[in-house]
Structure 1
Amino acid sequence: MVKKLYDINIFEGEKDTIQDFRNECKKLMDLKHDNLIKVLGASSPVKTVLWEFCTGTTLKDYVKINEVYPRTMVINVVRSLGKALGHLHHKGIIHGSVKSSNVFIMPDNTTKLTDYGFMDWKDGVVDFIDPQYMAPELFNGESYREKIDVYSFGMLLYELAAGEQPFSYVPEDEISHIVTSLNKRPELPQATPVLYKKITHLCWATDPEQRPSFHSINDQLTKPEEVLFPATIQFPIQSRTKQPP
């Protein structure tokens, strides 16, 4: 079934632009990965992309609804996302909007990622990405590449550990100053496992060159589960932040 329509900024009448868009669609339609929601088709005149229908729950809602969630679920999510993003980067595709509302937990507990690609047609990349997940170079108006996805992945690791979105209850218009001028990141719970914390902090590096590739990240994520997530750890690791009155 086709349910999701995704508006893309295309200038009608420019044949080269429309053809490039169609080529991008074909490239994405050819992707095959268990952790990616499929692109089924597109229509350039009406500027839409059609995605595989998804019956799962977004990771954003899952974390919000569940007071606690299984360690095995966290293991599955982070490994699955690492593989999916690694596959996209291997194919030369930047996701561009990695966030918990674009991650789905399916009824069979499979993790799937959606809304990837089409970076050249998104109407203002900075406006398209939620500031909670946005890499410093985007705030600074610098050129971007695949390492913006690595930074955002680090924010998802935080969200799973803390049980809340990054920079919760911080006004969105202040996040840019916190991330760029103050060079601060959310504080991981004190009991966060050492390797999990190390991976997260590497993903958050200000210099994109200092962030690991997903090949390197996935090598770390394949280490024994008890190294990544000791059995004594319960998620979220800390009590959730209380919403201010």
Structure 2
Amino acid sequence: MGNSNLKLQEEKYENVMKKFKFKESLQHSQLGMVRVYTLKDDNKYSIFEFHKTATTSEEAKLMLAHYKNRKSYNNDYLTQIFFISEQHNQILCQDQTQFIIIGEHFYNNIQNEMKNYLSKNYSNTSQQFSETRLWQIVFQIVNACTYLEKNGRNHGEIKSKNIYLHPDQSVKLIEYNFIYGSMNGYQKALLLNDFQYLSPELLKEVRAKNSSPNVDFIKGDVFALGLVLLELASLSSCEQYYDWVSKEVHIDKIIKANDLLLQRGYSTLFTNLIYQMISEVAIRPRFTDLNEVLSHFENEINNNVDFYSKYQMRQSHQFNIQNSIYTQPYQRPGHINQAQSIYLPNGSF
């Protein structure tokens, strides 16, 4: 009854953990129940530890391959796994394999940063996210999501509370299938009725109760990121633009809210970026497209240089999206021309 045989890496695990001290157990919004430890020499640095059990040898092989593959990911803005322990146990004559996964843990997130601004008198424009800060955030998220896209994955649940902050204020992401077998945001909305920043095409599939939608989930993540940027700049939750009972999103209200960002001092370059992210799926960019455009501004973004005020739209920002399939389903979809997109000296994507 419970004869345990800890074969692999117990000593290595102990060697890793002796550098840390236990702080608390907590319910992580994406990882579930985790144990958090801090570095003995620097309590600002934290790690998480969670346990997952495979009940068959085949599941154990798949699970180990999954975590080893994720451990190999090398991107500055993705949360890192740095240790995997595999322990074999025999319980009631049944062989089980338990995995202990250890990685970076971050207490703070973008939602908390937003709440800090909301706690102040943000009628003063100084009490809001600076545009340079928002360009850093979008650049880092796009960088991480481009890496996932190139590795055949997507984030799957972009929202402000899932965008974590390193102590140096850079972002850190955890994609939905960081944990083997996890559900993405679409599945949570469909099966659990859990609110997500879903795009119109994904909401249509939820209404149809389609468990296997033939939809571009990368572009769904781009839409969600557009809403997160609008949320941060406006300091107002984008949940208000959804009717979650009927599973619809009011694009016209999102456009009006984005227009108001100009009154808060944000540039047309920034508002147009959001417009493109929330445009209809046929013309919405993927992360690789966005990354290509933002790479032109990488040095300015990383060095807090105001580059955005030099690039202005040459036409009204109330572009064809308002006459697109979102509001007039039987019309030919609108197009965003070069003058209405992120304008670069050598053209736009």
State TM-score, norm by structure 1. Answer: 0.73
Match of 2:104 in 1: 52
Assess, with a 3 A threshold, how the Cα gap between structure 1 residues 148 and 24 changes in structure 2: closer, same or farther: farther
Give the fraction of aligned pairs with identical amino acids, expressed as a percent. Answer: 19
Cα distance in 1 between the residues matched to 2:180 and 2:280: 24
Kindly tell me: are residues 20 and 201 of structure 1, through their superposed partners in 2, closer, same or farther at Cα, counting changes over 3 Å?
Answer: farther
Give 1:133's aligned amino acid: Y
Aligned-pair CA distance for 1:132 = 4.4
Distance 1:119 1:51, change over 3 A: closer
1:66-215 correspondence runs (5 A): 66=117, 67=122, 68-118=128-178, 121-123=181-183, 125-128=185-188, 131-139=195-203, 140=205, 141=210, 142-144=213-215, 145-168=217-240, 172-174=244-246, 176-178=247-249, 184=252, 186=254, 187-190=257-260, 191=262, 192-207=266-281, 209-215=282-288
1:5-20 residue pairs with structure 2 within 5 A?
A: 6-7=31-32, 13=55, 15-20=57-62
* Partner Cα distance (1:136, 1:45) in 2: 41
AA in 1 matched with 2:139:
R
Please give the alpha-carbon distance, in whole angstroms, between the structure 1 residues aligned to 2:253 and 2:293.
22
CA contact (8 A) 1:11 1:17 kept: no
Equivalent-residue separation in structure 2 for 1:16 and 1:28 (angstroms): 19
Distance 2:116 2:307 in 1: 28
Once the two structures are TM-superposed, the CA of residue 158 in structure 1 deviates from its matched residue by: 1.2
Say if 2:124 is the partner of 1:64. Answer: no
Q: Would the aligned equivalents of 1:102 and 1:114 in 2 still touch at CA under 8 Å? A: yes
Sort the Cα spacing of 1:87 and 1:65 in 2 relative to 1 into closer, same or farther, 3 A. Answer: same
Q: Aligned pair in 2 of structure 1 residues 213, 112: CA closer, same or farther (>3 Å)?
A: same
Query: Separation in 2 of the partners of 1:20 and 1:170?
Result: 38
Select which of 76, 81, 91 maps to 1:34.
76
Q: Which amino acid aligns with 1:164?
A: S
- Aligned residue type for 1:195: L
Contact 2:157/2:175 (<8 A) preserved:
yes
The structure with the largest alpha-carbon Rg is 2
Which residue identity does 2:106 align to in structure 1? Answer: C
**Cα distance in 1 between the residues matched to 2:195 and 2:252:** 14
Distance in 2 (CA, whole Å) between partners of 1:108 and 1:79 is: 16
The TM-score with structure 2 as length reference comes to 0.54
Q: Displacement, 1:185?
A: 5.7
AA partner of residue 258 (structure 2): L
Aligned-partner residue type, residue 105 of structure 1 = L
Question: Alpha-carbon deviation of 1:58?
Answer: 0.8
SS class of match (2:64): helix
One-letter identity of the residue aligned with 1:52: E
- Structure (1/2) with the larger strand percentage: 2
- Work out the number of aligned pairs and report it: 223
Which SS does the other structure have where 1:173 is aligned?
coil
Task: For 1:131, give the aligned amino acid.
Answer: F
Q: Is the 8 A contact 1:6 1:49 kept in 2?
A: no
User: C-alpha displacement at 1:6, in angstroms?
Assistant: 2.2
> Any gaps of 5 or more consecutive residues in structure 1?
231-245
